[in-house]
Amino acid sequence: MGTIYYIKDNNNVRLHPLDYMTLLYDRLSGITHIVAEPAPQIIETLGSQALSVEQIERELQKQYDLKVFEDSDDSFADIITARLDEFIDLGIIDKCDEEQKVKLT
Amino acid sequence: MSEDKNIDESQDSIENNMKAGAEPNRRRMLMMGAVAATTAVSVRPAMAQTSSSVLTCTVPIPGPHGAGQNVAPDGSLVPRNTPGSFNPYGRRFRGEDLRHAVRGRTLPGTTYQETRAYVKYIKRLRSGQSGFTCFASIQTRRY
């Protein structure tokens, strides 16, 4: 069974786009995170859903033309996972096994 | 005039091709950055609290919402017998000790790995959970 990611409190998270960055306000902690892409796009993709890294990548591919820096070996999946882990450390996202997905709905 | 008619016909042909689904790719480019990059900078709110109460306030680990559970190395609450997890026994840690722990010192009576797990647990606390206000105050005071 794969790992899926979800926003812990989707109703209490607000995104506010600025020029080259986005503000992410986490109401229950009172903290504002200043985030750069693709982090806000990942949050928007998740919304109220619980998705795997592969599903998130597929959704991003539908909406955007994904690019990495020329000398980068990182895969899209690795980059998305790193961003998700960053959000887990910030307490905004959590993860679980796919079989536990039913308990989230 | 025949030339005008030819131009009109070719224009119609272009429009028909576009309607048939041959539209150019108009998706925005999304720069994915690098795995090692940090893409979030956090700004914490200032909270009004006197100096003495900040240093003497305490955070229970775990709070009542986690009673009977252990703390995993990533700060999440897990069942008591989860391998690699730590049992904090509901200990309360002082704000002053947590202030040092965030900067790398070990909490009293704990190992280094245990301290790291408890600090991650505390960083995940939310408004309404015991210890949130104490820890938030520590983060915003200047010492």
> Which amino acid appears at position A23 of this protein?
L
- CB-nearest partner of A65 from B27, B76, B136: B27
3-state secondary structure of B78: strand
Q: Check: CB of residue A96 under 8 Å from CB of residue B72.
A: no
Q: Check: CB of residue B120 under 8 Å from CB of residue A89.
A: yes
Sign for the pseudo-dihedral over CA of A76, A59, B39, A3: negative
Which residue would you say has higher pLDDT here, B24 or A20?
A20
CA atoms within 13 A on the CB side of B108: 8
Query: Does residue B17 carry a pLDDT above 70?
Result: no
Shared domain for B17 and B76, answered yes or no, is: no
Residues A8, A50: Cα–Cα separation, whole Å: 10
Return the pLDDT at B54.
58
Shared domain for B13 and B83, answered yes or no, is: no
Q: A86–B128: do the CB atoms touch at under 8 Å?
A: no
- CB within 8 Å of B127: residues ≥ 6 apart: A27, A28, A29, A30
DSSP 8-state secondary structure symbol assigned to residue B21: T
Shared domain for B115 and B84, answered yes or no, is: yes
Residues B26, B19: Cα–Cα separation, whole Å: 15
**Chain A residues bordering chain B (beta-carbon distance below 8 Å):** 9, 24, 27-39, 41, 60, 63-69, 72, 74, 76, 78-83, 86-91, 94
Q: Is this complex scored with an ipTM above 0.95?
A: no
Which of B56, B59, B44 lies closest to B122, judged by CA? B59
> Which amino acid appears at position B14 of this protein?
I
Query: Does residue B9 carry a pLDDT above 50?
Result: no
Shared domain for B16 and B60, answered yes or no, is: no
Shared domain for B77 and B121, answered yes or no, is: yes
Shared domain for B35 and B105, answered yes or no, is: no
- In tens, the pLDDT along B45-89 reads 766 555 555 566 889 999 988 899 999 999 999 999 999 999 998
Number of domains in chain B: 2
Return the pLDDT at B6.
47
Check if B25 contacts A (Cβ < 8 Å): yes
Shared domain for B25 and B86, answered yes or no, is: no
Q: Check: CB of residue B77 under 8 Å from CB of residue B66.
A: yes
CA atoms within 13 A on the CB side of B81: 0
Which residues of chain A neighbour B120 with C-beta distances below 8 Å? Answer: 89
Shared domain for B55 and B27, answered yes or no, is: no
3-state secondary structure of B41: strand
Shared domain for B32 and B78, answered yes or no, is: no
Which residues of chain A neighbour B76 with C-beta distances below 8 Å? Answer: 94
Tell which of B39, B44, B119 to mutate to test the A interface (max A CBs under 10 Å). B39
Which domain, by its residues, includes B20?
1-41
- In tens, the pLDDT along A31-85 reads 899 998 899 999 999 999 999 999 999 999 999 999 888 778 889 999 999 999 9
> Which amino acid appears at position A32 of this protein?
T
- pTM (two decimals): 0.61
Shared domain for B75 and B128, answered yes or no, is: yes
Residue of chain A whose Cα is closest to the Cα of B140: A31
- In tens, the pLDDT along B110-138 reads 999 999 999 999 888 887 788 888 887 77
Shared domain for B14 and B69, answered yes or no, is: no
Across the range A20-39, mean pLDDT stands at 88
Using omega within 30 degrees of 0 as the cis cutoff, is the peptide bond preceding A17 cis? no
Q: Which of 78-117 (B) contact A at CB < 8 A?
A: none
Shared domain for B80 and B127, answered yes or no, is: yes
Residues A54, A76: Cα–Cα separation, whole Å: 9
Which residue would you say has higher pLDDT here, A69 or B28?
B28
